[in-house]
Amino acid sequence: MSGEASFVVVEEGKARVKVPAAERTERGPGNKEDAAVFYNPAMATNRDLATLLMAARAQPGWTVLDGLAASGLRGLRYALETGVPLALEMNDWNPVAARTLEENAKMNGVEAKVTRRNLAALLQEQVWDVVELDPFGSPAPFLDGATRAVRDGGLLGVTATDTTGLAGVFPRVCRRRYDAEPMHGELGHEVALRILAGSVARQAAKHEVAFTPIFSHATDHYYRITLQARRGAQRADAALESVGHLISCPACGHRSFSEERSCPECGGPVRVAGPLWTGPMLDVATTDAMQAKVPTATLARWRETRHLLNVLSGEARAPPLYYDIHKAGERLKVGSPSTAKVVGALAQMGRVAWSVHFNRLAIRTDATAKEMNEAVRMASLG
């Protein structure tokens, strides 16, 4: 798509970018073969949240690599909306994309270094304070290089759209790309995010770097995690202690991070996923700082982004795993009681519940599986 007439200018946040007209759609991940400069408007919430995080965490003078920049929209929004001066580098191997990146930077009055390099090679040559991986599909080919390319204290942002593999629809894909066993079904999205984070942690440990998730979410057709780097062998060893397995019991509903291969509550066989990250996926201080930036932010998807961040802020304070009320009702053969009634029944037991951002029928709770089952039974009786 080389003609000027085939491009249009779109606005997102404070940025204006030239993108192929064929890519100006409102839904879906699109097809990267359709245009030389891939643009996905469905990722606007992803970029809203990432820009809020950068506004909350970035330090003046930080170097930022948008490694698969395409139109440059993510990096340009960082430069325009974080409120701190950043040294931005935007890279894309495609010659049309590289030219468009230069034009888009100039259009927005942003000074940026534009490179046209193979990202895998570029990641071996220097380090940045922030590295962004937003590929079409799997980030797996770039994770090893990216984990060594982030400075101590810096951030790695990873977006993955290979959701069918990570969520276990095609488990062989997940095993091949991430060397991990997924778990299709009720816990699929949670396991997927944790497999992605665990893969980063395991790759980084080889370079004596520890990566800890500070923000993550599963939204629409993608998974997104941001992790902080801390260099040092001891820190890498400590991070690996948070990599393990998740078990789920089909019979009683128990789920936990464990290396056992039978259910500790009912003794039945369990499903096993991992290796994956077993520690927190959200940092309370980070979500609070992001929320503090919302009133003055320029968001592309104001209502959606604000709602999602509110739910994530609650989840940052919640226990790590969750129960799908509908699935629990099916397992117990009592139907699907309302969330409000189940939460009320749990409250009578002295338990607390939080919403789950990617499943409106699920709650995170400090209740045991046995208590959760009892709450569902109580709620089903009215």
Structure confidence at residue 24 as a pLDDT band (50, 70, 90): low
Whether pLDDT at 32 is above 80: no
Closest CA to 59 of 88, 83, 81: 83
* CA–CA distance, 245 with 194 (Å, rounded to integer): 10
**pLDDT in the model for residue 7:** 86
Segment 98-122, tens digit of pLDDT: 999 999 999 999 999 999 999 999 9
Domains in the chain, number: 2
Whether pLDDT at 36 is above 90: no
Asked if 84 and 173 sit in the same domain, the reply is: yes
Note down the domain range covering 335: 321-382
**pLDDT in the model for residue 42:** 87
The verdict on residue 331 lying in a domain is yes
The verdict on residue 298 lying in a domain is no
List the CATH number of the domain containing 359.
3.30.56.70
Name the E strands within 134-252: 150-160, 209-219, 222-231, 243-248
Asked if 211 and 73 sit in the same domain, the reply is: yes
Whether pLDDT at 23 is above 70: no
Domain final position from 243, 277, 311: 277
The verdict on residue 306 lying in a domain is no
Strand partners, 19: 8
Whether pLDDT at 22 is above 70: no
**Phi then psi dihedrals of residue 364, to 5 deg:** -90, 140
Instruction: Return all residues near 347 (Cβ < 8 A) that are at least 6 apart.
Output: 353
Say if residues 293 and 211 touch (Cβ distance below 8 Å): no
Asked if 139 and 201 sit in the same domain, the reply is: yes
**pLDDT in the model for residue 37:** 75
**pLDDT in the model for residue 30:** 45
Phi-psi region of 344 (alpha: psi -120 to 50; beta: other; left: phi over 0): alpha
Kindly state the percentage of the chain with pLDDT values over 90: 91
CA distances for 289 relative to 5, 23, 308, angstroms: 42, 33, 15
Whether pLDDT at 164 is above 90: yes
Say if residues 184 and 169 touch (Cβ distance below 8 Å): yes
Rounded mean pLDDT of 22-48?
Answer: 67
Segment 316-339, tens digit of pLDDT: 999 999 999 999 999 999 999 999
